[in-house]
Amino acid sequence: MTHQAPPVPSSSSADPGRQVARLREALRLVEDIADRPAAYGRDSLLDEAARVSGAYERALPIVQRRFDALAAEAEGWTAAGVEALLVAARSGSPRAAADRLARRLSEALSELTALLD
């Protein structure tokens, strides 16, 4: 009997460019909470989304599955992190936590885009 990890929910029905754009928007929100300057301008979001979608379409299926898994994972912990920051904001300034989340989200986005390069 072999043991395999359960399949990661695939977000292949979602547009990869849209996934990256949503993560970038979350990053902008977190950077705002952290009182950090935005690392990525709104104008470049559409360009990046188009590049990511095109690169995803040309990528090997195994790379697409890896991208889907990483994107789903990043979306999950980003949603949980933003929710925690919003709750924490009611009782004080969650700037340090937001800064850590912003750094981690930025790293995840770099990893996702590098996967398709």
pLDDT in tens, 72-97: 999 999 999 999 998 888 888 889 99
Q: In terms of Cα–Cα distance, which of 109, 100, 80 is closest to 33?
A: 100
The answer to whether the predicted template modeling score (pTM) of the entire model surpasses 0.85 is no
Q: Which of 41-45, 56-60, 93-97 has the lowest mean pLDDT?
A: 41-45
C-beta of residue 24 within 8 angstroms of C-beta of residue 106: no
Query: In the predicted model, what is the mean pLDDT of residues 88-114?
Result: 91
Distances (CA, A) of 71 to 33, 36, 58, 87: 23, 24, 17, 24
- Confidence band (pLDDT; 50, 70, 90) for 101? very high
Q: Name the DSSP class of 40.
A: S
Q: Taking 60 as the threshold, does the pLDDT of residue 8 lie above it?
A: no
